[in-house]
Structure formats: structure tokens, C-alpha cells
Amino acid sequence: WSRCILISILFQTRPYPLVLILETEKKYRNNIEEYFRCTEKCGRCGEGWRPFGVKCYFFSTDFLNWTNSRDRCVEKGGHLAIITSQAEQTFVTMHLRGPHWFGLNDLETEGKWMWVNNQPLTDTGVTFWNKGKDGASQPNNRKDEDPSGENCASLGNENGDFTKWFDGSCSKTRQYLCEM
Ligand SMILES: [Ca+2]
């Protein structure tokens, strides 16, 4: 009660200017709106993950080789991204600023591309390999940098075009794309 009385006295003796009250209210309302925006947009996926459809995507800022990228995604509760539609490809490439590893490799059998969930690429069917001139068409398993060839897939490469898939040496360190 004494606190109530003290507050009412304070308000009576030093009334807040109306403009200050309105500004405070506006700031409060903005915070609430921001909170709900975040709950809708980013809350479902957790901090650092972006939602798309029913899945959530993590675009790394750090660089790892393909195997370590695969393991890091699993540590984070997901896996390297498995891309199965044009819509998904468009969404992920919209957010890329550099080449990213994703969940496709032909480590076990040359030319037989497998997703990290052990599903063959031929099963999901949709591919976005870069189509270049002559030998530049992907995947080309080049061996000039790494004698074991190019057995891991990346969105874009150091020369750009992040909207296409490139095979690369798995030991290269790149950013990586996880999903869950
Ligand atoms: Ca290969």
C-alpha cells in the first residue's frame, strides 16, 4: 500500500509528459510485434536456423572439409542438406554468399551419387549440376588438385554460380549447409 501511495504521489507531483508515455507505449508495442514476428519466422527452428517449408536450414559461417561438415551438422541435431526440389534449391541459393557443402557424395562408388541418408540421387531425381562448356560440366571428377578426384558436392564453387551444384575435392574446407 505504501508503495502504491508513493507511486501515485510521484505521478501526481511529477506527471509524465504525454509524449513520453506515448513513446514508451510505442516502443513496448514494437517489442511485442518483434517478438511475435520472431516466433512466427525464426522461433520454430531455433536460433541461427532458417525455416522453409517443414524444414529448417543452417548456413554455417565457419569452414570445414566435407566429412567434418557432415559430422558437425549431426552434432547440431540435423544433417547436411538433402535437396529434392526446385523450390528448395531456390530457397537455399537465395541465402548463399559463397560455396557451401551439402549432403551429396560419390565417395563409395565413383559416379554413384548418394545422399547422407543413403538414398541414391537417382531416387530423388532432381539435380542442379552446373552445365558448362566441354569438360566444365559437373560432376567431372577432376583430379588435377586432388588425385582422389572430386567426390563431394557443393552449392557453387570458388568461381561463383551458387545456384548450381559442383563436385569438389572432399578435403577442401568450405562453408556448409545443414537441415533438420
Ligand atoms: Ca567423384
pLDDT tens, residue by residue, 53-110: 999 999 999 999 999 999 999 999 999 999 999 999 999 999 999 999 999 999 999 9
Confirm if 95 and 51 have CB atoms less than 8 A apart.
no
Q: What is the mean pLDDT of residues 126-140?
A: 85
For residue 67, the Cα-to-chain-centroid distance in whole angstroms is: 18
- pLDDT tier at 23 (50, 70, 90 boundaries)? confident
CATH superfamily of 49-179: Mannose-Binding Protein A, subunit A (3.10.100.10)
φ/ψ of residue 59, rounded to 5: -100, 115
Name the pLDDT band for 156 (thresholds 50, 70, 90): very high
CA of 148 to the centre of ligand 1 (A): 8
What percent of the chain is predicted at pLDDT more than 70? 77
Q: Where are the domains of the chain?
A: 16-45, 49-179
Whole-number pLDDT of residue 44: 85
Give the end-to-end CA distance of the chain in Å, rounded to a whole number. 53
How far, in Å, CA of 148 to CA of 151, rounded?
A: 8
Using the mean position of ligand 1's atoms as its centre, give its distance from the Cα of residue 169 in Å: 8
What's the CA-to-centroid distance between 150 and ligand 1, angstroms? 4
- For residue 57, report the distance from its CA to the centre of ligand 1, in Å: 26
Residues within 5 A (CB) of ion ligand 1: 106, 141, 149, 151
Distance separating alpha carbons of residues 35 and 95, to the nearest angstrom: 23
